[in-house]
Amino acid sequence: MTTNLRGAALLREPRYNRSCGFTEDEREALGLVGLLPPAVDDEKVQLERALVQLSRKPSSLEMYLYLSSLQDTNETLFYRLLMSDPARFLPLVYTPTVGEACLHFSHIIERPRGMYLSLDRKGRVREILRNWPQSDVRFIVVTSGERILGLGDLGANGMGIPIGKLALYTACAGVPPEVTMPVMIDCGTNNETLLQDPMYIGLRRPRAAQAEVDEFVGEFVDAVQEQFPDCCIQFEDWGRFDAFRLLNRYRERICCFNDDIQGTAAVVLAGVLGALRITGGKLSEQTFLFLGASQAGVGIAELLAQAMVAEGLSPEQARARTWLFSSKGLVESSRTDLSDFQMAYAHPHPPAKSFAAAIESLKPTAIIGVSTVGKAFDREVIQAMARANQRPIIFALSNPTANSECTAEEAYEWSDGRAIFASGSPFMPVRYGDQTFVPGQCNNMYIFPAVGLAIYAARARLVTDEMFIAAAHAVAEQVSAADLDVGLIYPPQSSILKTEVRVAKRVAEVIFRRGLARIKEPEDLDAFIESHVYRAEYPALVG
């Protein structure tokens, strides 16, 4: 890697800057003498200094701000820090801390990162994309900020999500950071608090109508195809109706996916497959009951159904094993208030207004919470599941932590220590009786970075659900017997890079097998994937 930057300009470029880590020869050759203190730090000292500074921050948000500053000044050290202890640091750059950061984003922003494309720039998107400093962009995470985590419409404050997601691409799966670009498509906001905030960084107008949004997104997609032809677009945290509409519009035309739909579904599937290694039985023998009947929940149900079809069921038989429960009760065939996307799951059954009553009637082996209603899995619900199952599978997936349908402690206590539990936000290990349980975090970071690495290496033309199903199976297979013994149904985050490289290989197999790669299949796929993995090492700047 080479650069024409020298002196102070080099120190201001995070991709090349190594602060006090420049050697004496580099300082002489690059015009840095006198611009740095005399001591030359090795990698260990730099990491220790970063840890000391981080330890002095009084809150998670302050730690987030420190890490953001480090990313803006020394990118290599930032990723070296994250990858040194992923379980400790990834929650600081993404969930749950990123939710708090987005709430305050307009107040804490220092150095803007990414591309901001607002509706008042209509007709100029291709021109604006040319301002990006890198010519080879392979991944764009793009949001409209309308549905940030469980926090709702945060407008341009939602830019923290694409920034955080792309950091996970690199930290979890080794996708090179220089090929990524976070994008905010600012369509306005209906959040009156933001519109009245003098420091708000976004457009001060109500959200645009669907037709205007679609027209602008179309211009954006076309511009990306022209400017960055090998780029994969990940739609993230769009409004629930926009999310499915845009995915369905573009998934057969361009390389794109929606992590809230496909990534979430795949990581839930991975968790279920992990749980079945404890309970026994096949996926196609399970009965699922969702609390929450939104398009996100249906997206999970559809991927579960596809995976059951792969075990021999028909699509109708697979869907019949999944039930939805909305705010108005059980989704069943007599209801007249259902949306089109819910109809495939409206099975014949007497109405039920109580979730616990639905459990007593349907006897599901797993309940999956996507309701964003905190404490919705109360004692009555958990105990009903425990009566129906020796090892009830309980997934409380809503984010942030306050919206989780139950805590890990509640799930274990109310099931007499028999629950197999996973959540969207992290929970600490729980001691119950003479056993310590380690809750699983059903976090998309197990899936989308690995899918991304495979897409990047193989230069995939399209993204398919089959790729996400393969990723889910690969994740579940890497849970050890020791992990299962303590109730952990996802691989430990401490070894996430190793896990995801293996997952990427499985996804790449699908890409090549289905003829979706833009390149010829390599003879040694393992070595090929490994060769594309980013390592947090300083580039050589002096020959």
DSSP string covering 220-256: HHHHHHHH-TTPEEEE-S--HHHHHHHHHHHTTTSSE
* Residue tagged active-site, from 165, 250, 412, 538: 165
Q: Is 122 tagged catalytic?
A: no
Tokens, residue 226:
């022209």
Q: DSSP assignment, residue 216?
A: H
Report d(CA 175, CA 139) in Å as an integer: 9
Q: Which residues pair with 235 in a beta bridge?
A: 142, 258
Report d(CA 54, CA 61) in Å as an integer: 11
The dihedral built from the CA positions of residue 271, 159, 256 and 448, taken in this order, carries a sign that is negative
Q: DSSP assignment, residue 192?
A: H
Query: What SS3 class is residue 189?
Result: coil
CB-CB contact of 199 with 107 (8 Å)? yes
Q: Is 200 tagged catalytic?
A: no
DSSP string covering 61-120: HHHHHHHHHHHHH-HHHHHHHHHHSHHHHHHHHSTTHHHHHHHTHHHH--S--SEEEEGG
CB-CB contact of 376 with 411 (8 Å)? no
Residue 307, phi then psi, degrees to nearest 5: -70, -35
Report d(CA 414, CA 421) in Å as an integer: 12
Residue 67: other Cβ atoms inside 10 A:
21
Residue 168: other Cβ atoms inside 10 A:
25
Report d(CA 48, CA 288) in Å as an integer: 47
3-state class percentages of the chain: helix first, strand second, coil last, to nearest 5: 50, 10, 40
Which residues have CB under 8 Å from 353's CB, separation 6+? Answer: 329, 330
* Residue tagged active-site, from 94, 345, 456, 490: 94
Judged on CB neighbours under 10 Å (0-12, 13-18, 19+), 375 is middle
Residues belonging to the active site: 94, 165
